[in-house]
């Protein structure tokens, strides 16, 4: 028998634990890809909602309002299947034009073999990457709507006089949008966006619901009771400790983000006439 | 089976009354509407009870956070950080596992590991923490003059709190609190996707919606139904909170009244 310290050292470095540690990287990767993508979606949504062309404006407004009134978890569960089926359906139309059977047969969704995503013959890692990519796209769509809402408000918060001045200088609507509104809106958007970043961090465990092997998946997997017959490291139900670990991870992560965002806000609003920019009078 | 029969069989399925078996094939629209609606009972139950108790606790927490005594302030700050800084999803898992341990040790009643009690406690603590932060912000933005006026009238202690501070705090915090309430109702959909088991398939609206989506492999029907129910629920919440808001603002001239703006905070 090994003593406790050595046992733990061995236990915590098993292959499965390495996958567990790597899944923290998955979460960070998701955040790193989703945040800019969602911002881009949000920018598109906000611009559409301000558009002079009515159908585009309605589309933008529906995008913003729709995702807000409905529980986001429903959107996550919905988009993961809907996106998958949507892609397969498009590929099906493209690749198998002479397919004559209906795609929805009772409770089945049938497309031709070439249109399957990923292909039935693809190796396992392709399946995992595809699953992860749909998850990212789902996150980007949902969080894009939230950030569209923030950016839409920020664009409207840019003082009217600024735009009037731009018009007086003879700028076109497009010019005043890109040269006046876009550079100035970020200060107004930052409080909303930093709130959104915190929310995004706290939404990452939902990856588990989307079928990605994330930290929640591994915490459940590794923490569950293990019997001596199946493993060299038998133990009871340790899920509690694994989840406590996750809790600490998230608390540290949100606290850290809070501190950083506070600093960015201070720097960006330095000397600006916003509520954040009014430095409190030194005592 | 006619639609009315379906309603009779499944309207209270989520509570365990009516037909035991869920439909297995030949799903009709009526079945989806009825069962998802039946699940809404749970969302409304969790939402209302957590809100009512959470409101009272949040007021206490907000006062605690603005206390000058570190012995009171610090624990409250930690509590709020704990619940606002971590995902609700993880909180549910963790609470379930803790209740499981405590139940085995005989420290808590058996009900705590079932959703109706255990998840309710988590939602209650969670909404209390979020609302406390809103109320604390409101408490800090009470105009200095209001409190000075109360002092000038000789109000102090409890009567000053009840007549001046508390109503003003509620009035200032109410738009934020409305969003918190909406967002709490949305958060109730997480319950059955975490550790808490849906015994005998008695789940909430999202549980049934995902059941149908899995069985029919068609997300385009159950999720829009769920969305419809939630939009109605959200409108009801806005309506009720709007009435309270009107009452809290009734002494102010029209243009000074705070409008409720629909701006939920999304997932926790």
Smallest CA-to-CA distance from B199 within B46, B15, B6, B39 is with B15
A275 pLDDT exceeds 60? no
**What's the rounded Cα separation, in Å, for the pair A41 and A83?**
16
Under a CB-based contact definition with an 8 Å cutoff, are residues A183 and A200 in contact? no
pLDDT digits (tens, 9 = 90+) for A189-231: 888 888 889 889 998 988 888 888 888 888 888 888 887 777 7
- Chain B neighbors of A72, CB-CB under 8 A: 186, 266-267
**What's the rounded Cα separation, in Å, for the pair B146 and B166?**
12
B224 pLDDT exceeds 60? yes
Q: Do B86 and A239 touch (CB under 8 A)?
A: no
A192 touches chain B (CB under 8 A): no
- What does the pLDDT read at residue A39? 93
- A278: tokens are 């009014």
Segment among A122-131, A194-203, B46-55, B259-268 with least mean pLDDT: B259-268
**What's the rounded Cα separation, in Å, for the pair B11 and B30?**
11
Q: Considering the domain B3-15+26-256 in this protein, what is its CATH number?
A: 1.10.3720.10
A76 pLDDT exceeds 50? yes
Segment among A230-239, B70-79, B96-105 with least mean pLDDT: A230-239
Phi, psi of A109 (to 5 degrees): -115, 105
A12 pLDDT exceeds 50? yes
State the pLDDT confidence band at A276, using cuts at 50, 70 and 90. very low
pLDDT digits (tens, 9 = 90+) for A133-158: 888 998 999 889 888 988 988 888 88
Nearest CA in chain A to B182: A69
- Strand runs (DSSP E) across B10-166, as ranges? none
What CA–CA distances, in Å, run from A121 to A90, A116, A126, A169, B16?
Answer: 20, 10, 10, 61, 44
Under a CB-based contact definition with an 8 Å cutoff, are residues A212 and A132 in contact? yes
Q: Which of residues 98-117 of B touch A (CB under 8 A)?
A: 98, 100-101
Nearest CA in chain A to B89: A205
Chain mean position to CA A230: 37
- What does the pLDDT read at residue B52? 96
- Chain A neighbors of B186, CB-CB under 8 A: 70-73
Q: What is the mean pLDDT of residues A173-181?
A: 88
Which of B218, B266, B268 is the best substitution to test chain A (most A C-beta atoms within 10 A)?
A: B266
pLDDT digits (tens, 9 = 90+) for B98-119: 999 999 888 888 888 888 899 9
HSE, CB side, 13 Å, CA atoms: give it for residue A136. 19
State the pLDDT confidence band at B152, using cuts at 50, 70 and 90. very high
- What does the pLDDT read at residue A254? 92
HSE, CB side, 13 Å, CA atoms: give it for residue B79. 23
Of B98, B220, B230, Cβ closest to residue A71: B230
Cβ–Cβ pairs < 8 A, chains A and B:
121
Of B91, B101, B213, Cβ closest to residue A240: B101
Cβ-proximal residues to A142 (8 Å cutoff; 6+ apart), any chain: A67, A72, A75, A76, A79
Cβ-proximal residues to B221 (8 Å cutoff; 6+ apart), any chain: B29, B32, B212
With the C-alpha atoms ordered B173, B179, B185, B189, is the resulting torsion angle positive or negative? negative
A107 pLDDT exceeds 80? no
- What does the pLDDT read at residue A271? 61
Q: Considering the domain A34-213 in this protein, what is its CATH number?
A: 1.10.3720.10
Helix, strand or coil for residue A53? coil
- What does the pLDDT read at residue B13? 87
Nearest CA in chain A to B236: A69
- A66: tokens are 């729709």
Distance from CA of A232 to the nearest CA of B (A): 25
Q: Estimate the crossing angle of helix B205-216 against helix A72-95, to 10 degrees.
A: 10
Question: Domain locations in chain A?
Answer: 34-213
Question: Domain locations in chain B?
Answer: 3-15+26-256
Q: What is the mean pLDDT of residues B47-52?
A: 96
Q: Estimate the crossing angle of helix B70-85 against helix B29-65, to 10 degrees.
A: 160
Under a CB-based contact definition with an 8 Å cutoff, are residues B174 and B241 in contact? yes
A108 touches chain B (CB under 8 A): yes
Q: Do A254 and B210 touch (CB under 8 A)?
A: no
A88 pLDDT exceeds 80? yes
Summary mean pLDDT of chain B: 88
Nearest CA in chain A to B210: A77
- What does the pLDDT read at residue A280? 41
State the pLDDT confidence band at A33, using cuts at 50, 70 and 90. very high
pLDDT digits (tens, 9 = 90+) for B126-151: 999 999 999 999 998 888 888 899 99
Summary mean pLDDT of chain A: 83
| Residue owning tokens 């309270």 | B244
- What does the pLDDT read at residue A282? 37
Query: Is residue A201 left, alpha or beta, with left meaning phi > 0 and alpha meaning psi from -120 to 50?
Result: alpha
- What does the pLDDT read at residue B78? 94
Strands A108-109 and A104-105: antiparallel
Phi, psi of A253 (to 5 degrees): -65, -45
State the pLDDT confidence band at A260, using cuts at 50, 70 and 90. very high
B66 pLDDT exceeds 60? yes
Nearest CA in chain A to B191: A73
Q: Which of residues 61-100 of B touch A (CB under 8 A)?
A: 81-82, 85-91, 93-94, 97-98, 100
- What does the pLDDT read at residue B110? 85
Phi, psi of A105 (to 5 degrees): -115, 100
Which of B31, B90, B137 is the best substitution to test chain A (most A C-beta atoms within 10 A)?
A: B90
B265 pLDDT exceeds 90? no
- Chain A neighbors of B82, CB-CB under 8 A: 251
Question: What is the number of other CB atoms lying within 10 angstroms of the CB of residue B76?
Answer: 20
- A98: tokens are 């002479």
Of B86, B98, B187, Cβ closest to residue A251: B86
Of A107, A206, A237, Cβ closest to residue B216: A107
- A110: tokens are 């049938």
**What's the rounded Cα separation, in Å, for the pair B61 and B74?**
11
- What does the pLDDT read at residue A2? 65
DSSP 8-state secondary structure symbol assigned to residue A172: -
B50 pLDDT exceeds 90? yes
Q: What percent of chain A has pLDDT over 90?
A: 17
- What does the pLDDT read at residue B261? 65
pLDDT digits (tens, 9 = 90+) for B166-196: 999 999 999 889 888 988 999 999 999 888 8
State the pLDDT confidence band at B262, using cuts at 50, 70 and 90. low
- What does the pLDDT read at residue B22? 83
ipTM of the complex: 0.86
Under a CB-based contact definition with an 8 Å cutoff, are residues B71 and A221 in contact? no
| Residue owning tokens 């957590």 | B50
Helix, strand or coil for residue A104? strand
Distance from CA of B154 to the nearest CA of A (A): 30
- What does the pLDDT read at residue A189? 86
- What does the pLDDT read at residue A95? 80
DSSP 8-state secondary structure symbol assigned to residue A226: B
Under a CB-based contact definition with an 8 Å cutoff, are residues B238 and B181 in contact? no
Give alpha helix (H) positions in chain A.
Answer: 4-11, 15-49, 54-69, 72-95, 124-157, 160-168, 173-176, 182-203, 215-223, 239-268
Concatenating the DSSP letter of every residue in B154-211 gives T--HHHHIIIIIHHHHHHHHHHHHHHHHHHHHHHGGGGGGSSS--GGG---HHHHHHH
Q: What is the mean pLDDT of residues A240-265?
A: 91
Smallest CA-to-CA distance from A243 within B100, B183, B199 is with B100
Distance from CA of B195 to the nearest CA of A (A): 10
What CA–CA distances, in Å, run from A206 to A38, B9, B81, B111?
Answer: 16, 33, 21, 26
**What's the rounded Cα separation, in Å, for the pair B43 and B120?**
11
Q: What percent of chain B has pLDDT over 70?
A: 96
HSE, CB side, 13 Å, CA atoms: give it for residue B128. 24
């Amino acid at each position: 028998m090994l003593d406790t310290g050595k046992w733990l050292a061995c236990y915590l470095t098993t292959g499965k634990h390495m996958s567990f540690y790597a899944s923290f990287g998955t979460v960070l990767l998701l955040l790193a890809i989703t945040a800019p993508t969602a911002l881009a979606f949000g920018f598109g949504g906000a611009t559409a909602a301000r558009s002079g062309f009515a159908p585009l404006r309605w589309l933008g407004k529906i995008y913003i309002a729709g995702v807000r009134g409905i529980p986001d978890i429903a959107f996550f569960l919905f988009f993961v299947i809907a996106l998958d089926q949507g892609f397969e359906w498009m590929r099906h139309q493209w690749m198998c034009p002479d397919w004559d059977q209906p795609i929805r047969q009772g409770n089945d969704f049938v497309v031709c073999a070439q249109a399957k995503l990923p292909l039935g013959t693809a190796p396992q890692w392709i399946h995992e990457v595809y699953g992860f990519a749909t998850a990212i796209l789902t996150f980007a769509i949902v969080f894009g709507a939230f950030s569209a809402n923030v950016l839409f408000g920020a664009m409207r918060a840019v003082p009217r006089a600024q735009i009037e001045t731009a018009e007086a200088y003879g700028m076109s609507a497009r010019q005043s949008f890109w040269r006046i509104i876009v550079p100035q809106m970020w200060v107004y958007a930052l409080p909303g966006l930093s709130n959104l970043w915190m929310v995004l961090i706290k939404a990452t465990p939902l990856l588990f619901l989307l079928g990605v092997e994330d930290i929640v998946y591994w915490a459940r997997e590794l923490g569950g009771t293990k019997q001596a017959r199946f493993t060299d490291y038998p133990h009871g139900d340790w899920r509690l400790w694994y989840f406590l670990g996750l809790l600490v991870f998230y608390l540290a992560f949100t606290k850290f983000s809070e501190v950083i965002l506070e600093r960015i806000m201070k720097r960006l609003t330095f000397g600006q006439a916003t509520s954040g920019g009014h430095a409190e009078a030194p005592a | 089976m006619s639609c009315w029969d379906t309603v009779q069989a499944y309207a209270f399925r989520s509570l365990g009354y009516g037909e035991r078996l869920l439909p297995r094939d030949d799903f009709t629209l009526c079945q989806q509407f009825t069962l998802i609606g039946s699940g809404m009972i749970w969302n409304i139950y969790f939402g209302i009870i957590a809100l009512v108790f959470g409101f009272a606790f949040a007021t206490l927490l907000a006062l605690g956070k603005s206390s000058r005594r570190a012995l009171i302030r610090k624990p409250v700050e930690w509590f709020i950080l704990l619940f606002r800084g971590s995902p609700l999803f993880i909180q549910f898992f963790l609470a379930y596992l803790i209740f499981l341990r405590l139940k085995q040790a005989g420290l808590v009643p058996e009900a705590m590991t079932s959703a109706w009690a255990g998840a309710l406690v988590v939602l209650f603590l969670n909404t209390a923490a979020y609302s406390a932060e809103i109320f604390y912000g409101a408490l800090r933005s009470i105009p200095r003059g209001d409190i000075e006026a109360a002092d000038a009238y000789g109000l102090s202690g409890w009567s000053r709190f009840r007549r001046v501070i508390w109503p003003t705090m509620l009035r200032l915090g109410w738009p934020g609190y409305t969003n918190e309430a909406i967002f709490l109702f949305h958060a109730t959909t997480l319950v059955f996707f975490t550790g808490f088991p849906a015994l005998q398939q008695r789940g909430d609206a999202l549980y049934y919606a995902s059941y149908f989506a899995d069985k029919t492999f068609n997300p385009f029907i159950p999720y829009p139904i769920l969305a419809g129910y939630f939009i109605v629920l959200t409108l009801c919440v806005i309506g009720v909170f709007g009435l309270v808001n009107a009452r809290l603002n009734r002494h102010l001239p029209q243009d000074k009244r705070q409008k409720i703006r629909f701006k939920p905070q999304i997932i926790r």
